[in-house]
Amino acid sequence: MKKSFQFILLFLTLCQPHWAAAHAVITDYLLKIAPIHANSPAKVELLFNSQIELGLSQIFLVSKGDKHQLLTADTGSKQGQIIVQIPPLEPGDYALRFKVFAADGHLTEDVIHFSVSK
């Protein structure tokens, strides 16, 4: 009986879904289907699997020479949605480097590479 109780307790402990969702993971971003055109400001939508604490997060535009520019971002209408303001860019290769805090306090860092066309 004691072993059955311990097994059930262990099973219930391991199957708690809210304990498994520890980090914000990017699930989609608009750069896949909506490229940025040269010399035009743009907005990029990033979607995460959990709510983001935007005030504690940073999103950088990385350009040639490893130059980092802090970008402005707003929360979108959906949970986990962030809208990033991209300044007008010359044609070339760029990246978005982000450090975001999930609502549960876990930090996620990642980079999205993209190109700007004429």
**58 domain-assigned:** yes
**pLDDT per 10-residue tile (average), the chain, 118 residues:** 49 44 78 86 93 94 97 94 96 95 89 91
The pLDDT value given to residue 2: 54
* CA trace torsion 25, 30, 79, 13 (10° rounding): -20
**2 domain-assigned:** no
**90 domain-assigned:** yes
Cβ–Cβ contacts within 10 Å for residue 76, how many?
A: 15
pLDDT digits (tens, 9 = 90+) for 31-57: 877 889 999 999 999 999 999 999 999
**15 domain-assigned:** no
**80 domain-assigned:** yes
The pLDDT value given to residue 26: 86
The pLDDT value given to residue 7: 45
> 108-116 long-range contacts, Cβ below 8 Å, gap at least 24?
108/23, 108/24, 108/25, 108/26, 108/48, 110/26, 111/62, 112/26, 112/29, 112/31, 114/31, 114/35, 114/36, 115/35, 115/91, 116/35, 116/36, 116/37, 116/38, 116/89, 116/90, 116/91, 116/92
The pLDDT value given to residue 91: 96
The pLDDT value given to residue 16: 44
CA distance 61 to 114: 11
The pLDDT value given to residue 14: 45
**55 domain-assigned:** yes
- What CATH number does residue 97 fall under? 2.60.40.1220
Number of domains in the chain: 1
**9 domain-assigned:** no
Q: Which domain holds residue 49?
A: 22-117
**38 domain-assigned:** yes
> 7-16 long-range contacts, Cβ below 8 Å, gap at least 24?
none
The pLDDT value given to residue 18: 42
